[in-house]
Amino acid sequence: MTEKIWHPCMQMHDTRQHPIITIDRGQGIYLYDVQGNSYIDAISSWWVNLFGHANPRIVRALTRQAQKLEQVIFSGFSHEPAERLSERLLALLPDALTKIFFADNGSCAVEAALKMCRGYFRNAGHPEKTKFAFLTHGYHGETLGALSVCGEALYRDAFAPLIVPQIEVVGPDCFRCPFGETRQACDAPCFAAMERAVAGNARELAAVIVEPLVQCAGNFRIYPPVYLRKLRELTREAGVLLIFDEIAVGFGRTGTMFALEQAGVRPDLLCLSKGITSGTLPLSLVAVTEEIYQAFYGEYAKQKAFLHSHSYTGNALACAVAVETLNIFRDEDALAANRPKHARLRRAVEERFGDFKHTGEVRSLGFICAVELVADRETKEPFDWKRRLGYQIYRKALTRGALLRNLGEIIYFMPPYVITEDEIETLADIAWAATRDALG
């Protein structure tokens, strides 16, 4: 009875014209509704599904764990899947990250990271350091703490009375670069805004939080690694912590296991979620340095313990499938296998959209590809948002067999890694046909 459900991130009034689609099953890159229609899952079911729906290896790992232990309180207790997952992840991350703190979704990982930064400075004798800097168009989740560092007004402003104001910094926008630079060759002159923000707020600034290389919910703005290198140097010199939110871009999505590898830097805190379980179960975590961990370590009477918990923290089922997800990366050399598909996806999209008069830019990194459609290609003037062009393309694509959800007038592709090169061509064909349909 779908009419009894309030669905997220959509206007329910739209269901009067477009009823909710009830999905019956998934297989590989395809979703099948109860009428038997199939859809290519071009967005990995909100960016989480890496190795396909009903992946037999993931299913077997889940079944084995469900027969043994499904859940146990994680305060004072542990289990083998969490311990194996922590060991495996830390072996993949920069050496300075030594501890894993589990949560159950991306927003909660960000909340934990913000609290850790605040608590670190409080326990270290700097209670004045309570502020956080974030980038315009950055997105880190929709709990109140996460919204306080959200640079997308669409999500944040309606809840402004509930949010503690933080420090918003104009971030990189390579498509509409005010300095006339190109993404491939610039030295990030836009970083001057961050330098000013840190210099002007150093005394009270606890941390800077960014999404490395790609601001996914921020219209898939892709920026160069030099920005991250400058940010790491600046925060280190200023005595400010650095949080990387790799919830959307981690686990191979940008072409490396973690986006931070492409900049050659490491943060003080790293938030991970989404693809960690290959889209099977909710799980998130924060990896932190030993220095941060030690700031909370001490005798009980000193009241330094980190108080942040969720009922499903470190869920055994989720940890078990996360371990199997890492096994698939290893056994199938997924990162190497993906590289020709990255190139094929970009080429397929460029061949169809590259010369189109309403294509402002085709941009891609790894298994992320986005088309920004504009009303005028020369001036980069956007379409009137009330026209809902991107939404129309999304609806047209569904009728042609692809789940190709839009962000405004951004059409994006984040398919499961198991997609074939022929299926990439089919997906690009559907996107192009849906765009022509929507534009008449």
CATH number of the domain to which 241 belongs:
3.40.640.10
Could you tell me which residues come within 8 angstroms of residue 403 by beta carbon, excluding any fewer than 6 positions away? 31, 39, 40, 41, 42, 43, 45, 397
Complete DSSP assignment for 403-428: E--EETTEEEE---TT--HHHHHHHH
Is 249 found in the same domain as 187?
yes
DSSP 93: S
417 and 271 both lie in a single domain? no
Same domain (yes/no): 326, 378: no
pLDDT at 3: 80
Residue 399 CB-half CA count within 13 A: 12
Based on the domain organization, do 74 and 203 belong to the same domain?
yes
Residue 76 token pair: 């004072």
User: How far apart are alpha carbons 35 and 24 in whole angstroms?
Assistant: 9
Q: Assess whether 326 and 392 both reside in one domain.
A: no
Task: Choose the final residue of a domain: 296, 331, 366.
Answer: 331
| Per-residue confidence (pLDDT) for residue 2, from 0 to 100 | 61
Instruction: For tokens 């979620």, name the residue.
Output: 273
> What sign does the CA torsion over 199, 205, 207, 213 have?
negative
Q: Pick the last residue of a domain from 273, 299, 331.
A: 331
Residues 119 and 30 in one domain: no
Q: How far apart are CA 348 and CA 363, in angstroms?
A: 12
Q: Do both 193 and 341 map to the same domain?
A: no
What is the C-alpha to C-alpha distance for residues 430 and 3, in angstroms, rounded to an integer? 29
pTM: 0.97
Domain boundary among 290, 308, 331: 331
Is the same domain home to 348 and 316? no
Residues 425 and 348 sit within 8 Å (Cβ to Cβ): yes
> What is the pLDDT, as a whole number, of residue 440?
79
Containing domain of residue 318, as a range? 61-331
Q: Is the same domain home to 207 and 351?
A: no
Whether residues 127 and 228 share a domain: the answer is: yes
pLDDT tens for each residue of 137-168: 999 999 999 999 999 998 999 999 999 999 99
Same domain membership, residue 273 and residue 156: yes
User: Could you give the number of structural domains in the chain?
Assistant: 2
User: Looking at the structure, do residues 174 and 79 belong to the same domain, yes or no?
Assistant: yes
Residues of the chain with confidence (pLDDT) below 50 = none
CA separation for the pair 115, 262 (Å, rounded): 27
- Three-class DSSP category at 210: strand
Q: Considering the chain, what is the average pLDDT of its residues? A: 96
DSSP 75: S
The CATH number given to whatever domain includes residue 44 is 3.90.1150.10
Give residue-wise pLDDT tens across range 257-288.
Answer: 999 999 999 999 999 999 999 999 999 999 99
- C-alpha to C-alpha distance for 118 and 236, rounded to whole angstroms: 17
